[in-house]
Structure 1
Amino acid sequence: MARSRGNNALQLDRNPKAEFSITPRQREILKMVALGHTNREIGESLAISIRTVEVHRFNLMRRLNVRNVAQLLRQGLQQGLLPRNFGLK
């Protein structure tokens, strides 16, 4: 389901199961949250401020319509935004 307007195409998530489209940065932050990283650790790893991490995380949670990290991770798994075996060794 993508609309095209010349070079400005609206790209939806490639996973057909995913009801929600998230940005590459939000996906990166979601993965790091799933691995148990703090906002400070995420910021340091991505060379962005803690506040920027908080904003990305807030927008991600709002987009997925969740209120806490447990719901965020569950929704990430259910929507195919995280692989089922993500972080397991």
Structure 2
Amino acid sequence: MEIEKARELGLCFGVRRAIKLLKEAASKYGNIETLGPVAHNQQLLQALTKVGIKPIDNLEQVQGKILAVTTHGVSPQVLSQIEARHIKLVDTT
């Protein structure tokens, strides 16, 4: 059996961009929560948690004042709820 490797390995451009934005925001503001995971990669999520970037599942879990929307995006209704709660938004979409 022959196994072929893809030419491109690793994270896609959008996720790499999101991680860059999140790290810049964490450096500027401190701990950040993300609405959902940035990527479906457990090692990456653990590494981000160590630098203060932690995924949460829903708005009820927000503990801080800074929330990131991941590359997956959210509905306009969720954006309105974030705004109504006066939470600073980091948009990585």
* TM-score scaled by length of structure 1: 0.31
- Larger helix proportion, structure 1 or 2? 1
* TM-score scaled by length of structure 2: 0.30
Larger Rg: 2
